[in-house]
Structure 1
Amino acid sequence: MASFECKDTNEENRSHVEGALKCHFEKIKISGGGHVGVEERYSNIISHFSIKLLGDVVPNNKELLQSFDEARKLVAELPLYTKQYNDGKGVPIEYTLYPLSELAKLFIQDVAIDNMITELNEETILRVEQVFDGVSESKQRLNDLYNDAQSTSDFIMDKVFAQISNRVQEVRINEANFRRELAECLVKVRSGKINIIELENKLKKFHKSILSKNSMMEFFRQHRSVSTLAELVPILKTKRVEFLKKNSTIEHILHKYSNSDIFILLDNNEYIIDFNSSSVHSMFRDLYNSDEGSSKFFIANLKICTQIKCSSYPIIRHYINGRLDSDNYYEDNKILFTSNLIKFDPLPSTKPKNNPSEKTKLEIPCPQDCPTIDSNWRCFRCKKHVEYGYNEHLYCECVPSQEEINILLLGETGVGKSTFINAFANYLKFNTLDNAKSGDIEVLIPPEFTYMDDNYETVTIKIRLIRLIDTRSENDKKNFENILWYISHYQYLNGICILLKPNNSRYSIVFKYCILELLTHLHKSVKDNIVFCFTNTRETHYRPGNTLQPLKKQLEKLKKQTKSGVEIKVHKNIIYCFDNESFGYLAAIKEIKFTQNEEQNLAESWKISVDESLRLIKYLVKRQPHIVKDTLSLNNFRNTVLLLSRPFAEIERLMKLKMELLELKNFKKALEEDDGEYPNRKGFDIVFYLIKN
């Protein structure tokens, strides 16, 4: 048998397909060398036919037929194949003979139908419909819950996923059993074989099974968090908040985002979704809602992420550039919730040129609906207090403050403090004398050097501001009070330089003023910031000369004279030798001609002074800065005691007088009650009258 099939769904081509097929069938019928013409319009249609041959004598090794010509050729060869198969007898056919009586039994069908005796009332039918409607609805919700569990399988516990998966299987099995039992019961009830009470019992049994609405609703309630989590994950992902998967570690997160701010919410709540449950969750929500894309946020369920350890929860950990910045971000920053916040959006593009040394905490009313009292303002970014500078700018810690090196200069008249300041500024700017000669040398060089008044000079070098605080040379207490007032403008002192001349053995006046007064008014910790700078040391080969031993003796006396036993040990790090003649050479080079030998000596002097200047700065930077408020607190306390000493003495005198008057009053009363014991009582009355008036 040959099968020719053309797959063409267009009904309009039907007649063309049938014509082409009929034409080729005629060609196949003709044997031998006959010829039947086939129209060209049919040739394209015939190419879409698939041909199959079915039969017992068709050889198995024949390739699939590709065209009608091949099919015609094969049909023509069929008699030859038949002769070759089973000696030309063909394929035997097997027959099975059945008696007619047995054959009839095979075709007899059991068409007996029990007559319906009992009809179900509408109420029962409605109850059965409600049962199946409820099962269908519960199954749909259960399937949705299972899909939610699959989508969040990395964020929920394995036992929770197993409970949901097992419930799905149990519902399927129980539903199949219930349908089968209910169907059998209905047939028996309607055929009258059992009472309708059996159907009622089946329905009661259903309402106690896991298929019941109450049972399913309780299961959904227990696992409501899974569905809520499935909704929450994509929502938080759009806000760049991710849930950590099972076996996640904080180390992996820090390695992946090593250059970012990272906030991780740690909690033992099973799904961590009720953000209104605590103030910690509220802070975390505020953090990611207000973030501008620079930070990363993660949520870790400690029951899921078992490799993350935490003693208390919920907490927020904050990491900056891979390092822990806050182990409990909420406790460290909860003060922000009681503060008013200032947020610059965008950040200011310009910065004030001069950062004022004096600022005050910003306290102004809120322009919105806050109480009318002055508010406590903090920066939204750095969380620090916002300060108002007297240059009419606001300051916080978002922009690092300019590093300052504050150095107080003390010395007797003629030691060369002013020259030292100007020379010191140039030493830090020019490494060699040749560079200084070719540069623009001035006593004050703006903007690096800014003259403040007759007591200050400042010099800006790279990112540091070196402030040299000059003082008057008068050796009196009034002048020292002025010095304290000057330094009160700054937060700290890095160093106190006592300028001395070499080869000067008379240190009594200088030390009484510079050392004893210094330690009397300043905190004793200032001793670690004191250095000695010798000027004009070229003649002593850049050494203190023969004055080093007297200096050591004076410091030993200082240790014995001060009550606290302050000791200043002399060593290389507190001794610095300068020579400022090379700076004077720069000022006179246009007017005076120097010899080559002189210039070489001055160049050497400049180089040594530069090295000493750098060594001095490096040493002072490494020292612990002396906090000025410690000094001011001590000095203010001393002044307060001095101011109160006179009022206290006056109070003591008045109290003593009051006691005397009280005694005289008692004595007068005794006299008035006297019955002759005091014969001269008149004299006592006069004395009391005089004292009273």
Structure 2
Amino acid sequence: MSNSDRPAFGQQVALGALYDAKLDIFHPGSILTGVPPAGAVTERPAEKTNSSVTVGGTYRERHNALDIQGDTAASILAGLIKPQGSGVYLRNASSDKLILCGAIHHHVSTVQEKLNFMAPELHNHLDLDLLQNRDSTHVVLGINWGLHTVLEVKQHLSQDANYKDSKDAFEADLSKLRTFFEAESQGAPSTASSRMNPEYDYTLYSDAFEEEGLVLQTTDEALQFIRLIPDHISQSSNGKGWPLSYALLPLTMLHHFIQLPHELQVTSSPISPEYLAKFTNLFDNYEIAEAKLRAYYADLSRHSLHTSESHIEEVRRSIDQLRKAKKLAQEEFKEGLVSVRRGQTASTTLWDLFNQYNNGDFSPRKLSAIAGQESSKLDFINHVVSNGAIYIGHNGLSYEDAIDSHGDSGCYAFLFNRNGMKSQGVWNDNCALLMGLLTRARQTAPVYVVDCDATSKSLDSDAPRICRFQNGEESISDLLDHQKFMAEKSLAQYQTNALDTSLNNKPVKRRFVKIPCPCGKCDPTRICEWSCSFCLAPIEYGFTDEFIYCECGRAPYRSYQFKCNGDRHGTDYVPYSTKTLSGLLGNLDQSDYINILILGETGVGKSTFINAFINYLSYETLDLAKASDQLESVIPCSFSIQVMNRSDQNQPIEEKVIKVGGREDEADGSKGASATQQTNVYSVNIGSATYRLIDTPGIGDTRGIQYDKKNMADILSTLSSYENLHGILILLKSNNARLTITFRFCVKELLAHLHRSAVENIVFGFTNTRISNYTPGDTFQPLMSLLKEHSDMGLTLSNSTTYCFDSESFRYLAAYKNDCLLPNEEDFRRSWEHSRMESVRLVDYFKTRKPHSVVSTISLNGARQLIMELTKPMAEISKLIRDNITAMEDKKQQLLDTRLTGDNLRKRLQLDKIQFQSRQLDKPRTVCRNTTCCDFKDSGKGDGETVTIYKSHCHPVCYLTDVKQDVVAHPNLIRCAAFSGSDHCKRCTHHWQEHMHVLYELEQVTVQVTDTEIQRQLQANAGDVTLRQTGIAEASKLIGEYKSEHMQIQEAAARFGLFLKAWALTPINDATEDYINMLIQDEESKIEAGRQLRHNVDINKKRLQGLKEDKQAHLELVNTLTKHMRAPRNAKEQLLDEKGVEQLVARLYSLPHFG
């Protein structure tokens, strides 16, 4: 233990006082008895005055300013020392980053007093018994007298202040102030207030003040105090002033100067300065954390309408918890510090304590983590509101009411939440667009900013967007995407009165319009691809009718004007001369078009594949794709990625949703529904070629088998607009290790709808093949087995028909474009190179194939649909014919009975025939007109009339009185209970516009009819023999005619079966029954589970009934076709083509009795 100086901190003790370094306190009394003799105390003048400047407000910075280190600093932090006088400055630490802190330290020394233990006359004035107090470690050997004064200066900065410039100016003013202090101390008065920043706050601390500091208004008041310092000193302690510091002598060294009665037992363990410095940092961090929380709480309170009350309360609780944690840390530090100094515990306990509070649940970092959580959001809200936006969120305004309150002028709504603000690129672009709306001239539509964290309005994938509303309806769902999309388009606009929407079928021979812009400012050699300015679809020119087609309908080519996307064009649409435009359209070329139909099972990833495929063809390498300005995409898709920080075992896995594109009629597939909801054609220009990628709904639709039929019809409807298909790509997953029911159904369903001539254009594509080293993987063997079952198709898996892709590198690119960097880039680079090679190989192969004539597949499926619709009526008519033949045979036998004479004979001449009669209903009945819900049968009355039997009684007794009878889609019918407020029927699932009211039902009855020849003879009074012979002859004739028509129907069924067998790749999907059984089993499980949970399962029951009806219909179809699917027996059964199917159907319709 060596001599040391200890600051006085406003405490006054006498020479000879005992001091305890373990508790950092002075004990009462002194080892000196009475007044020390002359010569025992020496006084040496130490007159010195100086001023210094310090900057900073933390504990560490204030301690350094007063040269307080190690144990003394630790004692102050632990509360063992409570500084008084000028030392009060140490207690008011500040760590707020928006507060600049500095101080002028004015130090005046007067006298140094020292006790001389070597003086013999002192020995008789010592009370050495006091040394037996083992708590003492030192004795006061000397006192330095004078006066220490601190003028603290603070400046509160605004949020938008330039911190560096403000700090530089602040420090310059402190230096000036120091010169004023020095001048005053040298008797040269000055006035500083006019030269200082009026925003400064001043507090004066001095040993002349016992407790708190003195708040000043100006620096002149501080300078006035400096002038009076000599007076203050002269009036205190006989002109010595106040103790500045004490020189302490360790008791263990006292025996060098005097003889002690016994050996002193003094213990005080040293503590590592590193440990003590850590605690200074800890308590500074508590101050910083509290300053952040207080500032944040104040900001929230000022903007309480823009944040939740619960969040404000949570911040207030955090402040309380932080203060309690700091107080607890101080108390435990105090106990630990004393315990270590006394040698009761090892110094490492302080290290453990530090780690507990620095890293544990009570750490400043964790307790203040909430600070600033909403700051960026509040700053944004304040900024846009100050520029005219209307906030909807925590202020209680209704989003729906606000939108509905605007008519034709409409409004804009910026939807956002806190998570979406982290997406820098998307967020910044939307904010720039928002500010453009707020600041542009003549802005009449109000702009709302909708806080989705505070409203019921959800935000998909947390991505911010601006919506446009008109008349309460959303007209643009994402204004930024819309503007980007529009900026890339060259738009053609027709005269609205020229639009024709009456025709559904487009001419087969048509071309996309690719011609220069007619504007004189634009480059006449630049070919533009034109889109409709209303529906934004690419426009096509029909060669046969000279109309231009788009999704709006059609309009004459001469009614169009054009506005290209060139920089020079301007905003006006410019027309062509009729002659020039006609010539350009007539010369449009088709040779560089390649049409590719993409088919596949639901969930195979068609949408993602199409986007990836376009990028693979567009960019040779992943690096080139990354360097492009934007991500190439034509169809929405989304996927999630997980980010794992493996260096921190406790950190949760972060999931991020990457979304590509967006359109209203397209789901993204992330919630289990089929992503592609309808057939769409995407035209992509790569080099000189235009690829039409025909994206189709998946087979095995997640919504049921009826949707598979609807989807297939939608595919065929889309194909009817094109002449040729260059390629048919069937996509499959690479990990189907066995022939599952769904797998078999999907593959066979695709093949069942393709014409046999399409086999030369069919290839198989496998997705996600990186896991199988870019091979077909586990799917290869099951698919080979399936194709071998139909070896007559000529469809095989070979190098030329097998292509292996991997979309992972596209996912990497999409994540990269969304500011999310994934590891293992080299793997994705290799994936890109392989998929690019396969994509090029695929299109090169399609270019070598003879295009498949679409009309073949369309005609096949038209005939197929016709055949399928006829199979059940044909079977029912066959039964009806057999029943009538049986009735005629019975009638013939009765007529052969010679015992029948007279009136009895005449009664038996009435022939039995089955007919349909209508019965009036008491109340209207809602029925479905969809062909699957109807049977069409001959009336049996011999008049050739066909009657409709409504199988689906969707609402057997309907009480609506304002619906007109026998009118399909009457507007008031939507209110029928069959629809329960939706657009689709609860029973049959068809759209309400396919329904109508009827007031009758048809019943099958057997009636007696009189043959015309018999009627004539009866009128001629013919005899019994003549009548009997005539009756038998007529009955035999009818039997023959019935049998003839029955034979024609049987032959037609056989020829239909042969037609499908000959021209379809597979005539019947024999996996359908198993697939429907699987769906039935799944629905039954849902019903049972729902019952156990007491859920309403009515919808599931109806769906189950529909599936059972689908199964029965399929079995009847298969039975009808397979029973007659045999080789032709004669020339009459020669193989039909599509036209022959139509002619045969026409003959069936014209059968005299049962057509």
Instruction: Tell me which interval the TM-score lies in, with the shorter structure as reference length.
Output: 0.3 to 0.5
- TM-score if structure 2 supplies the norm length? 0.24
Q: Which has more helix, going by share of residues?
A: 1
- TM-score if structure 1 supplies the norm length? 0.39
